[in-house]
Each structure stands twice: as C-alpha cells, then as structure tokens.
Amino acid sequence: MIDLNKLFVRFLKDLKESSPNLKKSLEEISPIEFCLNIKEHKNIFIKIDDEGSNISFSKNNYQFEIKGSLIELLSLLATKKLNKNLIYGDSELAVIFVNIILKSNVDVVYLIDKYFGDVPAILAYSVLKIFNSSDDNSDIEYKNIRKRLRDISIRLDRLEALKVI
C-alpha cells in the first residue's frame, strides 16, 4: 500500500527546495494544521511542521478549513486571487498560509523534471515560456539567469544518467 505520509513529506521537501522563500515562510508559521474540503471528495487533513508533517483522510484537529469545489480551488491557484468565502476557522492564519503558497514562486519545471522526467519538463517549460512571454514588465536578466540555471540542471541530470549507465 502507498504510504501517503512518506510521499507528502518528500513532496513538501521538494517544494521547499524549489523555492527558498517557501521554506523560510513555512518555518515562520509552522506548525499549521488545516482541512482541505473539496466538494464531492473526502476531506484531506494536512499538518505542516518541521518535526512531523503528515496528510490523512481521518478526522484530525485543524486550525482552519479551505472548502470549495475543485474548479474554485484550481481557479485560486491559477489567478492567485483568494476568495475569502472559501476559508472557515482561523481566517487570519489561512490568508497568511494561502498567500505564502501563492507567492512562493515554486519552480514548477524543476518539480516536473524531478517527478516526470525531461520530456514533460521541456514541454512545461515551453508552455510557461509562451504564457510568460506576454508579460511586458518582466526582467530580462532574471529570465536569462533562470534559463541558464535550468540548462545547468538539465546537464547535471544527463551527467547523472550517464553515470548510472
């Protein structure tokens, strides 16, 4: 059987690696416990703590609840605008947590590369590049540095793959 806690802890670690801002911000507000209530799905109880983060479907104590349909929650992630009607309980802590997640600048391409491989990462990078090309206020130097870091990361992955062979 799949150990969800082990996978969740590893995924959380990878998220923190891909975004130093996220790691620092989560350390400031942890421990945090919340319920993710997606309509027509089981409730998901999440605890984020340095000593023992976990995820489960069995009822636990929580500080706040994020409740909405899957479309509402995906819209929240896509638009990065919080609908406060989705939050129940300690709304102050919930708003801080959601803003940390939304403003974390997680390197999605890095995570896709790590979990799914090079080809999906290249496709995701291309799609993100198309979406980001419409942003006229972006810093060109920042994009060049990110591109070079991604190229180095891909080269390192290839070297590791050659080492295994």
- Domain CATH for 78: 3.30.1050.10
Q: What is the mean pLDDT of residues 39-64?
A: 88
User: What distance in Å separates the CA atoms of residue 49 and residue 33, rounded to the nearest whole number?
Assistant: 9
Q: What is the mean pLDDT of residues 118-141?
A: 70
pTM > 0.75: no
Q: Which domain holds residue 131?
A: 108-164
- 98 and 112 fall within a common domain: no
- 92 and 114 fall within a common domain: no
Whether 46 and 34 have beta carbons less than 8 Å apart is answered as yes
- 8 and 66 fall within a common domain: yes
Among candidate residues 53, 79, 102, the one where a domain is terminated = 102
- 138 and 72 fall within a common domain: no
- 16 and 97 fall within a common domain: yes
- Tokens 């479309």, residue? 71
Q: What's the pLDDT at 72? A: 86
- 129 and 85 fall within a common domain: no
Q: What's the pLDDT at 35? A: 92
Averaged pLDDT score across all residues of the chain: 83
Say if residue 136's pLDDT is above 60.
no
- 113 and 94 fall within a common domain: no
Structure tokens at 2: 């799949």
User: What distance in Å separates the CA atoms of residue 143 and residue 136, rounded to the nearest whole number?
Assistant: 12
- 27 and 87 fall within a common domain: yes
User: What distance in Å separates the CA atoms of residue 150 and residue 144, rounded to the nearest whole number?
Assistant: 10
- 81 and 112 fall within a common domain: no
DSSP codes, 127-148: HHHHHHTT-TT--HHHHHHHHH
Q: What's the pLDDT at 64? A: 92
DSSP codes, 76-95: HHHH----GGGEEE-HHHHH
pLDDT per residue as tens digits for the range 76-117? 877 778 888 889 988 888 888 888 888 887 777 888 888 888
Q: Provide CB contacts within 8 A for 141, sequence distance 6+.
A: none
- Give 128 or 83, the one with higher predicted confidence: 83
Q: What percent of the chain has pLDDT over 70?
A: 93
Among candidate residues 49, 70, 102, the one where a domain is terminated = 102
Q: Provide CB contacts within 8 A for 58, sequence distance 6+.
A: 45
- 52 and 133 fall within a common domain: no
Count of domains in the chain?
2
- 79 and 133 fall within a common domain: no
Q: What is the mean pLDDT of residues 117-131?
A: 78
Say if residue 12's pLDDT is above 80.
yes
- 13 and 54 fall within a common domain: yes
